[in-house]
Structure 1
Amino acid sequence: MAFELPKLPYAYDALEPNIDARTMEIHYTKHHAGYTNNLNNAIKGTDLEGKSIEDILTNLDMSNAAVRNNGGGFYNHSLYWEVMNPEGKGRLSGPLKDAIESTYGTVDTFKDAFAKAAATRFGSGWAWLCVHKGGKVEICSTPNQDNPLMPDVSCGGTPILGIDVWEHAYYLNYQNRRPDYINAFFNVINWNEVERRYDAAK
């Protein structure tokens, strides 16, 4: 079966003023839709057809640029929409908070480190919070549409929180002020979903 663009879990304007409706609409209907279509074209008629996106990415031939870029783009954006919420669902708590404090000392120190990873990613890419088997968490960043599931990426583990720092994610509203966009992202994190992903992955 071909991959389908997942349904956006809220309206385009639901994250305002943190992320504006026009950016959301373009990001979802043009960029994410484009990655989805191009991924389907790249795997059509190959042995990758019918496999899950996680299986494709964890066993990826990194020289296959079409699958690497579009498979990453499909997966990354699917996670990105899910870990945001207009209602600010949940507060960071429980085992995930404990894991973050075990690694980073305090939640504020974690936020500073995550923001730095996103702000200092040169060019286009993503910053991630990942979980390793056993529950240890790690912050890292990747270029372009790479993600921690892929082989030969600088950080491993399962991504449970990700922020898109490609300019198309923020430029209409924030122009070159990437740090302002990153700070706004913290206002819309769906911690319930991040915690669900942590529990499933650890």
Structure 2
Amino acid sequence: MPLTRRQTLGLLVGSAATLWLRSRPAVAEGDPSDIYTLPPLPYDYDALEPVIDAETMHLHHDKHHAAYVKTLNKALTPYRQWQGLPIEDLLRHIRQLPTAIQQTVRNHGGGHANHSLFWQSMAPNGGGEPTGELATAIAATFGSFAEFQTQFQQAGLKHFGSGWVWLVLTPQGNLAITTTLNQDSPLMEGQVPILGNDLWEHAYYLTYRNRRDQYLEAWWQVVNWPWLSDRYAQMRALLA
């Protein structure tokens, strides 16, 4: 019986790291392609005010995210065979990495991937509701967009300590809400993150102090649904 495209993709994902290591040409010393970089914000630091203040954006992007990138690159320096792999693939194969760097890549590689998605998931004059396939899938999964928002906020509020709350695409092609600890990525569990909100206190404390519930509710005003709707359609097409 021929394999379905979904089964084929599963086999490809499962062997991607091994194939990549065998086929990848040697990386020249100093080649910039093997270095992870801090992506620029797609808007000004104050563009999300009053939901997220400019000082928080400066600290969050320029300090926290930058530190994840710096530490990740340093950890991979002795392991050139793993450098240059897209961060998503590196995290998908976290358990195949050398034991000595697994935790560092989990923390700092996860932080880099999570925040890279986070910045794109927000936009000035954001808010509203998703469109297209994502809107249809949310309604089918959760009953309504309003119910999805409620469940997403509740999951974020109940999560203890630092971490993230996510809307993910499962390997079976379904939507689900989940949370992860610290900077863990859903990619490590075979899921594709579609939307994520940062639950670390540095993401909201200057404005909201300990009122995480207010932050979670206000955050919907800056969600970039056009970009996320496109992202979902692209990710879903891979499982078709």
Instruction: Place the TM-score, normalised by the shorter chain, in its bin.
Output: over 0.9
The AA in structure 2 aligned to 1:119 is L
Quick one: structure 1 residues 158 and 22, their matched pair in 2 at CA, closer, same or farther if it must change by over 3 Å?
Answer: same
C-alpha contact 2:131 2:226 (8 A) present in aligned 1? no
Structure 2 residue corresponding to 1:74, chosen from 107, 112, 119:
112
2:135 counterpart of 1:97: yes
Equivalent in the alignment of 2:89: 55
For 1:19 and 1:183, the matched residues in 2 are separated by: 12
Cα RMSD over matched residues?
A: 1.5
Equivalent in the alignment of 1:118: 156
The AA in structure 1 aligned to 2:200 is W
For 2:92 and 2:229, the matched residues in 1 are separated by: 22
Equivalent in the alignment of 2:69: 36
Q: TM-score, normalised by structure 2?
A: 0.79
Query: How far off its partner does 1:31 sit?
Result: 0.1
Q: How many residues align?
A: 198
Higher deviation after alignment, 81-90 or 5-14: 81-90
C-alpha contact 2:72 2:104 (8 A) present in aligned 1? yes
Equivalent in the alignment of 1:148: 186
Identity of aligned residues (%): 47
Query: How far off its partner does 1:118 sit?
Result: 1.0
C-alpha contact 1:126 1:143 (8 A) present in aligned 2? yes
Q: Deviations over 1:11-67 (max 9, x none)?
A: 110000000010011000000000010011111131211111011000002862111
Equivalent in the alignment of 1:3: 36
2:203 counterpart of 1:169: yes
The AA in structure 2 aligned to 1:201 is M
2:167 counterpart of 1:129: yes
Higher helix share: 2
Moved over 6 A (4+): none
C-alpha contact 1:54 1:149 (8 A) present in aligned 2? yes
Structure 2 residue corresponding to 1:180, chosen from 214, 222, 226:
214
Structure 2 unmatched ranges of 5 or more: 1-33
Q: Deviations over 1:87-146 (max 9, x none)?
A: 217741211111011110011100001101111110000000011356421110000000
The AA in structure 1 aligned to 2:212 is R
The AA in structure 2 aligned to 1:165 is L
Q: TM-score, normalised by structure 1?
A: 0.94
Q: Deviations over 1:135-193 (max 9, x none)?
A: 42111000000011004xxxx42101000000000001100000101111100000011
For 1:196 and 1:135, the matched residues in 2 are separated by: 16
Equivalent in the alignment of 2:25: none
Structure 1 unmatched ranges of 5 or more: none
The AA in structure 2 aligned to 1:54 is E
The AA in structure 2 aligned to 1:17 is P
